[in-house]
Amino acid sequence: MSPRDEEFMRRALSLAEKAALSGEVPVGAVLVSAEGKILAEAFNRPISLCDPTAHAEIIALREGARQLKNYRLLGTTLYVTLEPCPMCAGALVYARVRRLVFGAFDPKAGACGSVYNIVNDERLNHRLEVTGGVLAEEAVALLKNFFKEKR
């Protein structure tokens, strides 16, 4: 674990809270450069944007690519409050993100070790360093509270 992992995950959690306040599933993401500079921040927006691909990770990757003027996000780390789904995990591989740090594991759709392991599939051309479970209790509580209020 990196010394700043909790700092960036706390930022991602605050973004996830914004998603919840907007009625979106509370997931937040922060993309950080190799130098430790925040390149992009995002939260889930598929409902508000009417876009099934508007997951926090995808929005952060798009903005990071714009910032770097390159679709290859070499040396970057993505912090996200929930283990990425297959779509987002594939995008991380194709973007060449170096490292993924996530909070809550997703036993239903996680694609970074829980159900699938797309980010470390030897058949693909890139693999990521993965650290899961960072501030997991806070991330899980945010998700559970959100869905409890929805029911």
Which residues belong to the active site? 57
Q: Could you please report the per-residue DSSP string of 94-135?
A: HHT-SEEEEEE--TTT-TBTTS-BGGG-TTSS---EEEE-TT
d(CA 151, CA 149): 6
d(CA 103, CA 21): 19
Q: Which residues contact 25 (CB under 8 A, 6 or more apart)?
A: 19, 44, 143, 146
User: 43 near 143, Cβ under 8 Å?
Assistant: no
